């Protein structure tokens, strides 16, 4: 298992994930220095000291705009946490970052990532 804790404030992203029922919490990365390989990670996410499972993208978003990002889809979570500090604790790398043909294709892959995360971390 790989453990790296990343703490940051949740900011508004582009909103593309919401369009395909895949909302993510985007972290303000302007002052973060991360020493981890780019990729998609299974993680635990701490919001107001409560632990959730998540799938975190650390790196860029080649399907959307190729911008750098740290964003996490928090599994079974649906609260407005803009402006709040959260902690992402990476556990293992699920895969590298790939360019998909559409957001719908990203969603299909993330659904597989969610399933793997739940199976391995619950």
pLDDT digits (tens, 9 = 90+) for 32-71: 777 788 999 999 999 998 999 999 999 988 998 888 899 9
pLDDT for res 19: 85
Share the mean pLDDT of the chain.
92
pLDDT in tens, 104-121: 999 999 999 999 999 999
Characterize 72-107 residue by residue with b for buried, 16 or more Cβ atoms within 10 angstroms of its Cβ, and e for exposed. Answer: bbbbebeeeeeeeebebbbbeebeebeeeeebeebb
Q: What is the pTM for the complete model shown?
A: 0.94
Average pLDDT of 10-19?
Answer: 88
pLDDT for res 114: 98
- Strand, helix or coil at 70? strand
**50 and 79 in contact (C-beta within 8 Å)?**
no
Distance separating alpha carbons of residues 86 and 28, to the nearest angstrom? 11
Average pLDDT of 4-16?
Answer: 91
Secondary structure letter of residue 97 according to DSSP: -
């Amino acid at each position: 298992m790989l453990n790296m804790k990343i703490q940051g404030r949740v900011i508004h992203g582009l909103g593309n994930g919401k369009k395909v029922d895949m909302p993510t919490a985007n972290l303000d990365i302007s002052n973060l220095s991360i020493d981890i390989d780019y990729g998609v990670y299974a993680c635990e996410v701490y919001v107001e000291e409560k632990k959730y499972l998540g799938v975190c993208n650390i790196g860029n978003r080649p399907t959307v705009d190729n911008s750098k990002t740290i964003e996490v889809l928090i599994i079974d979570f649906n609260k407005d946490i803009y402006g709040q500090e959260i902690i992402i604790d990476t556990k293992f790398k699920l895969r590298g970052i790939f360019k998909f043909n559409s957001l719908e294709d990203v969603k299909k892959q993330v659904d597989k990532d969610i399933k793997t995360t739940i199976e391995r971390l619950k």
